[in-house]
A and B are shown apart, each in its own frame.
Chain A
Amino acid sequence: MKRGLPGTLVLVLSLAVLAALVLLPMWLVGSSSFKLPREIISRFPTFFPHSFTLQHYQKLLGTSAFPTYFVNSTLVAACSAFVTVVLATLAGYAFFRLEFRGRDFLYRLIMVAYAFPSIVILIPIYLMFAKVGLIDTDLALVVVNVTFALPFSIWMMRTFFASLPRELEEAAAIDGASRLATALYILVPLLRPGIAAIAIFAFVSSWTEYLFASVLIISDAKRTLPVGLSGIIGQYQIDWGLLLAGASLSILPVVIFFGFVGRWFVAGLTEGAVK
């Protein structure tokens, strides 16, 4: 179908507006992190920096615990994403390939995890974790992150499993492949878009999780980025340069991770949408 000039104009304009909405805040945050403090809070905001300084980054990396928070966040998010992918894939296989009593009921039941606001279960979870010695551990955050990411991930996996013909597994079985070999060598490669989508979803939700990380972690050395950054910024006085430098650096891992597996993520979402 050929687009006319008005159609092209509307399309370009829409894309420009969309790009501005997404990129403008990122540009302002990123570029302002290199401005001198006075320019950051200037009465007349500057789109392009008139000054240049690395002082905010030096302060952030040199005098704050930002590097520790960064490592903790990376570790927690990576572990959460890995465990979510493994469990969602296995659960997806169980739900959509195996026959067992109560399967449909169980499949619907797991989505109940989203019925409760996080704040309601915060204190009970704290007390449960305290009993088993999980308070102030990275493992506590991984458990919570996986718990919240898993139901949606399993739900997403349904569409990917549905797109795989059962004949492939039957053919593998005829060739003598075990169930595990079929899963590893036939299904997993074909499920890559779904796995990428789940990995990114779990990574990003763990990376940005604040509430549980702020309560379940006590010591400064184990804090994750969102909680650590909120502390660095200050309450009565905000160091805007530090805030902007921290915000700029904290989106880097997500951008890099998305850069590697983003192609599959988009494919995964599209696949989920049309099935």
Chain B
Amino acid sequence: MRFKGHALAGAMALTVFGALPALAVTEVKIWHMEQPPHRVQRVQELIDAFNAANPDIKVSQEPQSWGEVYAKVPASIAAGNQPDILFAIPDFTTVIRKVDKLESVADFVKELDAKHHFIPATVEPYSYDGGVWAVPLYNMSLNYWYHKKAFADAGIEAPKTWTEWKSAAEKLSKDGVFGVGLPANKQLYTDQTTYAVMVNNGASELFNADGTLRFDNPKTVESYAFYKDLYKYSSPDAANWTWGEAEACFASENCASILQFTVISTYDQQGGGDPSQLGIAAVPHADDQKDSATIAYSNAAIILAKDAAKRDAAKKFIAYLLEPETYGKFLTMEPGLFLPVTADGAKSASFWSDPLVVKYKPQVEQMIANSANGKLFGFTDGRVFPAIGPISAQNILAETLQKVVVNGEDPAAAVKAGQAAMEAATK
């Protein structure tokens, strides 16, 4: 009997202590859309370092594709196998909020802000309906990239206004070179370039203050008409372009200039690779506007985990990413593409010491300066319109542009039809 009692106690002790290590480790699953191998590798290096320093947490990554994630995440939430941390952009966050009851991370963002000082424009797109729904991680903004030599040979400067832009495109378009590379695909890249033109003509607002659409207005029509004028100097295959084709056109010097987030990696590895010849400027503005603006995407992390331990572990990992000594390594997984969202991140040695950032320092500084005046459709001037989700998902800005530049429709009629399509999409 005594032996039996000891055996039972021993078995219980074994069960409890044997199970302890398994219970103590909190697993955190991340879905992000940075799929190229070198980005996955960099994220893994950061995860490995974090896991080594935090034996009670095990973070793992599962890279996904932007192409499918809009369908995959809602399905995974419905099935209960969603990730704990999901990387997102503002319009995607509105989609996620419709399918999942997110918990606000306002307190966590406030805590991080006190320590690192977020650039306000990167938090705004996630702050609405009384909460903050994601933690900003990195910023991306569209810039005007140009070949300095081509401009010097033509005797022109980088354009600041639309008149100068059109004139430059015209002068540079000779001997098989296209003065400007602008897409007209029904795709996100065209949404972005179209909006970059619109914001530079005072047409940044797609919605009125009451949430009704105001896309159909004279400024928008002017913007589309100007895009059509410029498109004449773009490559004939630009109607099928995504970002990669535009970059190839630029790196091969087939395009004298393009609108792109960054061309640094491609220019360095596949193009000329001479930093002194790589020009960058703000997207030119309409003649009656004072300053240039651009489209900017604040990418962020949504915490989908419901379990308190998982949420705490997820926050710990996000906080770790934003520490200046690790943040630079995180941003330079694609040097030049991802810009800091925090004040101390913008100064971090780990960012500025990256070899490619060192080589193209003036360009990166200019990118950061350009991003200061960044806007995003549906998330402007501190107001957020969640109805932008379906408008963005259906690429209605790009669809409207296609009608104008490919089908040759009158810009006013196309914009009117575009607003009708937006109204139908948001019903």
Contact = CB atoms under 8 A, between A and B. Distances in A.
Contacts, number: 105
A220 B62 contact: yes
B108 to A, nearest CB: 26
Nearest to A45: B252
Nearest to A42: B252
B257 to A, nearest CB: 15
B75 A218 contact: no
A37 B248 CA distance: 10
A231 B63 contact: yes
Given A122-B71, A236-B337, A237-B244, A37 B63 contact: no
Contacts of B33: 235
Interface stretch (A24-32, A123-131, A140-148): A123-131
Contacts of B21: none
B244 to A, nearest CB: 3
Contacts of B266: 237
A41 B248 contact: yes
Interface in B211-260: 242-245, 247-248, 251-254
A240 B248 contact: yes
B270 A232 contact: no
Please classify how large the interface on chain B is, using the bins under 10, 10 to 19, 20 to 34, 35 or more: 35 or more
A233 B80 CA distance: 30
B360 interface: no
A266 interface: no
Contact of A237 (B71, B243, B253, B254): B243
A46 to B, nearest CB: 12
A232 B81 contact: no
Given A43-B253, A126-B75, A232 B36 contact: yes
Interface in A111-166: 122-123, 126-127, 130-131, 135
B181 to A, nearest CB: 13
A43 B254 CA distance: 6
A222 B68 CA distance: 16
Which has the most chain B C-beta neighbours within 10 Å: A214, A227, A237? A237
B372 interface: no
A123 B271 contact: no
Contact of B63 (A42, A43, A220): A220
Contacts of A237: 36, 243-244, 247, 265-266, 334, 337
Contacts of A218: 62, 64, 76, 81
Contacts of B66: 235
Contacts of A234: 35-36, 244
B5 interface: no
A261 interface: no
Contacts of B251: 41
Interface in A226-275: 227, 230-240
The interface size bin for chain A is 20 to 34
Contacts of B252: 38, 41-43
B347 interface: no
B35 A232 contact: yes
B72 A215 contact: yes
A219 B80 CA distance: 16
A125 to B, nearest CB: 9
Interface in B34-80: 35-38, 40-41, 62-68, 71-72, 74-76, 78-80
A65 interface: yes
B15 interface: no
Contacts of B41: 63
A127 B63 contact: no
Interface string A204-224: 000000000011001110000
B261 interface: yes
B62 A127 contact: no
Contacts of A65: 37
Contacts of A214: 65, 67-68, 72
B64 to A, nearest CB: 8
A220 B248 contact: no
B155 interface: no
A44 to B, nearest CB: 9
B176 interface: yes
B269 interface: yes
A40 interface: yes
A232 B37 contact: yes
A130 B334 contact: no
Contacts of B40: 220
A135 B270 contact: no
Interface in B14-39: 33, 35-38
A130 B36 CA distance: 27
Interface in A28-68: 37-38, 40-43, 63-65
Interface string B304-320: 00000000000000000
Contacts of A231: 35-36, 63, 65
By Cβ-Cβ distance, the 5 closest A-B pairs, closest first, are A238-B244, A130-B79, A231-B35, A37-B270, A64-B37
6 contacts: A122-B71, A218-B64, A235-B35, A237-B36, A237-B266, A238-B245
Given A43-B253, A218-B81, A231-B36, 7 more contacts: A37-B270, A43-B176, A43-B254, A63-B38, A126-B76, A230-B35, A237-B36
